[in-house]
């Protein structure tokens, strides 16, 4: 199986820095902002973004106040297919999400089904003023009319290819590779 690297660690760092700046710009600052990572790899990405936003805003103490996680396991539409994943905790910053701009953070945007589930889960937690989406990789092939507001890399792929995101916090190193497809 062929595998090629499309983002290495420095590329990922640049993409995350750009996304952090875009989030601050679209929100007109860092006030009333909440970043919710979608487990598994969205959570460390949200934490990285929160740290960068806090640094850019010259308020390093706010990083922990910005970030949480949103488990979508019970909101997925593929539970009956036997694709089981153990639920992970949902954590919301102490200030909550009501009247805030919530940025959902995930590693790869593909069909849009994960984000649809995240929107359903979010509606059970409160009422944000805005919901935005930040992803490291947008690979196309949408089944639902969902698009990301902030994208690290648009990566056109064939449906037979697999996008693999590695994060230092989980996998020991940062990188994005594509495997499969034509040999």
Domains, the chain, ranges and CATH? 7-158 (3.40.50.2020)
Return the pLDDT at 2: 85
Assess whether pLDDT exceeds 80 at residue 87: yes
User: Whose CA is closest to 46, among 59, 33, 27, 31?
Assistant: 33
Within 13 Å of residue 28, how many CA atoms lie on the same side as its CB? 2
Assess whether pLDDT exceeds 60 at residue 84: yes
CA 57-62-66 angle, 5° bins: 100
Assess whether pLDDT exceeds 60 at residue 183: no
User: How do residues 45-60 score in pLDDT, each as one tens digit?
Assistant: 999 999 999 999 999 8
- Averaged pLDDT, 21-32: 97
Q: What is the number of other CB atoms lying within 10 angstroms of the CB of residue 122?
A: 21
Q: What is the pTM of this model?
A: 0.94
Percent of the chain with pLDDT over 70: 95
Return the pLDDT at 86: 81
- Ramachandran bin of 34, using left for φ above 0, alpha for ψ from -120 to 50, beta for the remaining angles: beta
Residue 130's alpha-carbon distances to 8, 27, 164, in angstroms, are 32, 10, 30
Return the pLDDT at 1: 66
Contact in structure between 54 and 22 (CB atoms under 8 Å): no
d(CA 153, CA 95): 31
């Amino acid at each position: 199986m062929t595998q090629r690297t499309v983002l290495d660690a420095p590329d990922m760092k640049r993409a995350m820095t750009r996304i952090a700046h875009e989030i601050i710009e679209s929100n007109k600052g860092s006030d009333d902002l909440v970043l919710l990572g979608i487990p598994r790899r969205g959570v460390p990405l949200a934490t990285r973004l929160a740290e960068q936003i806090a640094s850019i805003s010259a308020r390093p103490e706010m990083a922990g106040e910005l970030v949480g996680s949103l488990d979508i396991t019970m909101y997925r539409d593929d539970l009956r297919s036997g694709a089981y994943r153990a639920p992970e905790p949902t954590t919301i910053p102490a200030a909550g999400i009501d009247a805030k701009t919530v940025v959902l953070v995930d590693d790869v945007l593909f069909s849009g089904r994960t984000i649809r589930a995240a929107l359903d889960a979010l509606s059970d937690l409160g009422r944000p003023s805005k919901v935005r989406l930040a992803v490291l990789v947008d690979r196309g092939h949408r089944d639902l009319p969902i698009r990301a507001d902030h994208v690290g890399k648009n990566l056109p792929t064939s449906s037979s290819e697999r996008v693999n995101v590695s994060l230092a916090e989980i996998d020991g190193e940062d990188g994005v590779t594509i495997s499969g497809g034509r040999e």
